[in-house]
Amino acid sequence: RHSTWASDGSLEKEPLLERCAAVRYSDLVESSRPIEVPPPVLELCGSLARHGFQAWVVGGCVRDSLRGVPVADWDLTTDATPEEMRKVFRRTIPTGIEHGTLTVVHRGEHYEVTTLRGEGTYTDGRRPDHVRFVSAIEEDLARRDFTVNAIAFDPTTQAFVDPWGGRDDLQRRVLRAVRDPRERFAEDGLRVLRAARFVATLEFALDPATEAAIPATLDTLRRVSAERVHDEWAKALVKAERPSLAFDVMRRTGMLAVHAPVVAALDEPTFSRAMRRVDAAPKDLCGRLASLVFDVNEGPDRWLRDLRFSNDERERTAHLWRACRTDGCEAWDDRQVRRFLRGATRARALQVLALDLADRTARGVSLESNTRLAERCLQQLAQGVPLASSDLAIGGEDVMRALGRGPGRHVGLVLAALLERTLDEPSLNERVALLAQVPEVANSLEVS
């Protein structure tokens, strides 16, 4: 049993194992159970039916309601064309009209309604060259990526359309490509990434034939835009209890070397430790990214830039990675604890400690040192010790006045030197005491 840190920095009392057990339980599937479609969605389907059209809920919402987990978005598909839909619904937004998708605004909520589509031809490995509308729901389902994503349900008749055995695969917890995986992966490189992501978020096994098709299609994966790679990585890292399930697939199939060569190059024991660390870290994007590259010697910045992580995400990840160095903390005196906190910063101290906890969990060492360090940090924080120049009892104006000089580089240097002194001795953080030291500090810095 061990406790973990929640992403808000608080300590979670509920042990990880029990949390995983709870997820498994809620995942139990009763394949014959109809889907409870919320009334507004039922109303949309009813409106289409009254105009002589068929409508189904389809994709992620069907998969997730069969798994018994909350549905984020209810997506609909219909045999009405976008033109016809516009006659049925009062308020529509042409979000993806060229793909046959309209956003219907109903009772203040947005719903994506898409005309039945067939498989297009792919020449760029990214998107079909053209969209072809079809009249059969089966044909629409045949172009979808995985069997568990290719189930449709007609709320009006309560009938499932499940030509690829998606419900069986849900029950068996298997992720399987619809039709020939080699062909499907070769036409759209995003699908192999989605495979790895779904293995982790659903905690499903990857069907062996589906997995075997991946290595031969990596060239198509290389053509996927960095933005879409970023989105899949972010989902795998944040939505999965155990992102390692995705990274294990990526490593086995060669996908990891395409997008994260620094991680793929780790030797086996280091990689396994990184996997345990990622799983033990709170479900926070930057904490989990930092867990992944914890043992990589160069900073993660360039790699994260290649994967289009934002400036803010890169800065936070690199900061956690840098600040989480706690070797020998058992022997630290209070001055060292304060310097650790200065590096972590007041705002992120708990995130750094949570990363340290994940690392110790990954290494299988006692968590006692983390608990003790966290207590000592909280003690210092509660005393309001200064951790940054801005915490000092005097500011830049005071330094300039004391030296009789205008602004310049020396002001920051003097404040930094005063901070060093107060980190050793926090009681020095008092206006009069600090002002008295300004000339001497400036002198010693040869900046006066």
| CA-CA-CA-CA dihedral for 34, 202, 57, 90, to nearest 10 | 130
Bridge partners of 118, per DSSP, are 132
Cβ(400)–Cβ(406) below 8 Å: yes
Task: Decide which of Mg ion, ligand ATP, none touches 145; Cβ closer than 5 to 8 Å per partner kind.
Answer: ligand ATP
Residue 194, token pair as written in the block: 């989605």
Longest dimension (CA), the chain: 88
Which 8-state DSSP code applies to residue 33? Answer: P
Note whether 165 binds ligand ATP by CB under 6 A: no
Residue 314 is a binding residue for ligand ATP (CB under 6 A): no
**Are 176 and 207 within 8 A, CB to CB?**
yes
191 binds ligand ATP (CB under 6 A): yes
> Which among 185-193, 277-285, 366-374, 410-418 is the span making contact with ligand ATP, rule CB under 6 A?
185-193
Residue 326 near ligand ATP by CB under 6 A: no
Q: Which amino acid is at 168?
A: D
Q: What does DSSP assign to residue 10? A: P
Q: Residue 341 binds which entry of ligand ATP, Mg ion, none, with Cβ cut-offs from 5 to 8 Å by kind? A: none
Tell me the number of residues near ligand ATP by CB under 6 A: 10
Q: How far is the CB of 73 from Mg ion (least distance, A)?
A: 5
Which lies closer to ligand ATP via its Cβ, residue 140 or residue 211?
140
Nearer residue to Mg ion within complex by CB, 197 or 376: 197
Report the Cα 281 to chain-centroid distance in Å. 12
Q: How far is the CB of 20 from ligand ATP (least distance, A)?
A: 19
Site for ligand ATP (CB under 6 A): which residue of 79, 145, 154, 207?
145
Nearest residue relative to ligand ATP (C-beta): 60
Pair 230, 285: CB distance under 8 Å = no
CA gap 39, 36 in Å, rounded: 9
Question: Any idea what DSSP says for residue 27?
Answer: T
> What's the rounded Cα separation, in Å, for the pair 296 and 314?
15
Residue 342 binds which entry of Mg ion, ligand ATP, none, CB below 5-8 Å type-dependent = none
Helix (H) or strand (E) holding 156: none
Task: Determine contact, residues 60/73, Cβ cutoff 8 Å.
Answer: yes
- Does 176 bind ligand ATP (CB under 6 A)? Our answer is no
- 217 touching ligand ATP, by CB under 6 A: no
Is there binding between residue 361 and ligand ATP (CB under 6 A)?
A: no
Sequence-distant (6+) residues with CB within 8 A of 132 are 117, 118, 119, 120
Q: What span, in angstroms and rounded, lies between the C-alpha atoms of 323 and 382?
A: 20
Regarding 60 and contact with ligand ATP (CB under 6 A), the answer is: yes
- The CB-of-287 to ligand ATP minimum distance in angstroms stands at 21
Q: Which does 149 bind (CB under 5 to 8 A by kind): Mg ion, ligand ATP, none?
A: ligand ATP
Token output for 418: 């005063």
Please provide the distance, in angstroms rounded to a whole number, between the alpha carbons at the two ends of the chain.
58
- Closer residue to ligand ATP in complex, CB, 184/276: 184
- Interface with Mg ion, residue 60, by CB under 5 A: yes
Indicate the residue among 181 and 426 with the shorter CB distance to ligand ATP: 181
Tell me the C-alpha distance between 335 and 420, whole Å. Answer: 10
Using CB under 6 A as the binding rule, whether residue 190 contacts ligand ATP is answered as yes
Residue 67 touches which member of ligand ATP, Mg ion, none, C-beta under 5-8 Å by kind: none
Interacting residue with ligand ATP among 140, 169, 188, 356 (CB under 6 A): 188
Positions 97 through 136 that interact with ligand ATP (CB under 6 A): none
Using CB under 6 A, list all residues that contact ligand ATP. 59-60, 75, 144-145, 149-150, 188, 190-191
Using CB under 5 A, list all residues that contact Mg ion. 60
